[in-house]
Amino acid sequence: MSPSPDATAPLFAISGLHYRYAGAQADALADLDLEVREGEFVAVLGANGSGKSTLARLLGGLAKPTAARRAAVCGHDLLSEAGRLAARRDVGVLFQNPENQLVAQCVEDDVAFGLENLAWPAAAIRRRVDEMLTRFGLEELRRREPHMLSGGQKQRTALAGVIAIPRRVLVLDEPTAMLDPAARDEVLAAVGELRAEGLAVVYITQEMGETVGADRVVALERGTEAFAGDAGGLFADAPLVRRLGLGLPAAGELALALAERGRSLRGPPLTMDELLVALGGVT
Ligand SMILES: Nc1ncnc2c1ncn2[C@@H]1O[C@H](COP(=O)(O)OP(=O)(O)OP(=O)(O)O)[C@@H](O)[C@H]1O
Ligand SMILES: [Mg+2]
């Protein structure tokens, strides 16, 4: 019997990670550390160009780090070709634009695509695809061409395809950024369910409001770590939140404006309910 993976080892054990695009003058990621364990939900925050998608590609084994002290993903070394290939199997990556991830002629073929590449037996693929279509509410759309879907349906199809392959950890790169509010809620609900089932998630976003409930947040600024800790700690540093250029929900903007005027609220109050409570027991 082959040894089972060490359940206590971190899923991501990254330190001193650097990445520089060919011909670029500066690193897109510089000296970055990240540790994520089983069941954790870690939010990675950062403005445009801070290195979020570069990090997603590296974590998913889709690009080779320029250098790293340690770059272990589910026990695989990202510095080796074999390690990156193994990482691609264990780490599911969902990008911002579902158009770039939908490849097949219809929804069910899209969900089956990764399993076919892994040469699963046809009957097992059918069972797994049915399970995914039910889970993501896509049964009725199974024969629909992906480009005919709404944005939320596209992103759910892409997520179903990523999850169809049993994963050890998910990296979601701004999965709601191109969606309207209703579709955003659909995708966030699907992510919430995966999280409730104990799947580890690295959730990349520019929106502070989407980090509610994260175990930890890491904020990037020009490829380096500007903050790592809990969301409350980041929010307590109003000048840093402003400098990082993060999106804030209305309740967060109000809380931040109060903090800048010397009235710090316990929190971070990012939802209206939390804000009302923080303002003094109004429920
Ligand atoms: N293919 C590329 N070649 C050269 N430079 C790149 C390439 N892709 C990204 N960069 C640069 O690397 C840095 C990080 O880009 P990245 O796409 O990782 O940022 P991001 O945080 O995902 O931004 P966004 O919020 O706009 O998606 C930026 O300075 C960007 O210009
Ligand atoms: Mg990006």
Q: How confident is the model at residue 258, as a pLDDT?
A: 86
The answer to whether the CB of 45 is under 6 A from ligand 1 is no
Output the residue whose Cα is nearest ligand 1's atom 16: 51
The answer to whether the CB of 54 is under 6 A from ligand 1 is yes
Span 88-109, pLDDT tens digits: 999 999 999 988 889 999 999 9
The CA distance from 215 to 230, in Å, is 7
Ligand 2 is a single-atom ion; what residues have CB below 5 A from it?
Answer: 52-53
Q: How confident is the model at residue 141, as a pLDDT?
A: 97
Distance from the CA of 95 to the center of ligand 2, in angstroms?
8
Choosing from 20, 50, 178, 210 the residue with most ligand 1 atoms within 8 A of its CB, the one to mutate for a pocket test is 50
The CA distance from 265 to 251, in Å, is 11
The per-residue DSSP string of 189-251 comes to HHHHHHHHTT-EEEEEESBGGGGTT-SEEEEEETTEEEEEE-HHHHHT-HHHHHHHT-B--HH
Q: How confident is the model at residue 251, as a pLDDT?
A: 84
Choosing from 17, 20, 21, 207 the residue with most ligand 1 atoms within 8 A of its CB, the one to mutate for a pocket test is 21
Angle subtended by helix axes 107-117 and 122-135, to nearest 10: 130
- Provide the β-strand partners of residue 204: 44, 173
The answer to whether the CB of 7 is under 6 A from ligand 1 is no
Atom of ligand 1 nearest to the CA of 223: 14
Neighbours of 241 (CB within 10 A): 22
pTM for this entry: 0.92
And the tokens for 206? 């520019």
Q: How confident is the model at residue 271, as a pLDDT?
A: 82
Peptide bond into 249 cis (omega under 30): no
The answer to whether the CB of 51 is under 6 A from ligand 1 is yes
Domain 12-247: CATH architecture, name and number where available: 3-Layer(aba) Sandwich (3.40)
What are the extents of the domains in the chain? 12-247
Output the residue whose Cα is nearest ligand 1's atom 31: 49
Q: How confident is the model at residue 3, as a pLDDT?
A: 47
Q: Which residues of the chain have pLDDT under 50?
A: 1-3
Contact call for residues 59 and 84 (beta carbons, < 8 A): no
Span 35-68, pLDDT tens digits: 999 999 999 999 999 999 999 999 999 999 999 9
**Which residues contact residue 117 at a Cβ distance below 8 angstroms, ignoring those fewer than 6 apart?**
none
Q: How confident is the model at residue 107, as a pLDDT?
A: 97
The answer to whether the CB of 171 is under 6 A from ligand 1 is no
The CA distance from 265 to 21, in Å, is 41
The CA distance from 79 to 26, in Å, is 20
Q: How confident is the model at residue 213, as a pLDDT?
A: 84
Q: How confident is the model at residue 7, as a pLDDT?
A: 60
Burial readout 36-54 (b: 16 or more C-beta within 10 A, e: otherwise): bbeebbbbbbbbeebbbbb
The CA distance from 278 to 283, in Å, is 10
The CA distance from 238 to 43, in Å, is 18
Distance from the CA of 24 to the center of ligand 1, in angstroms?
11
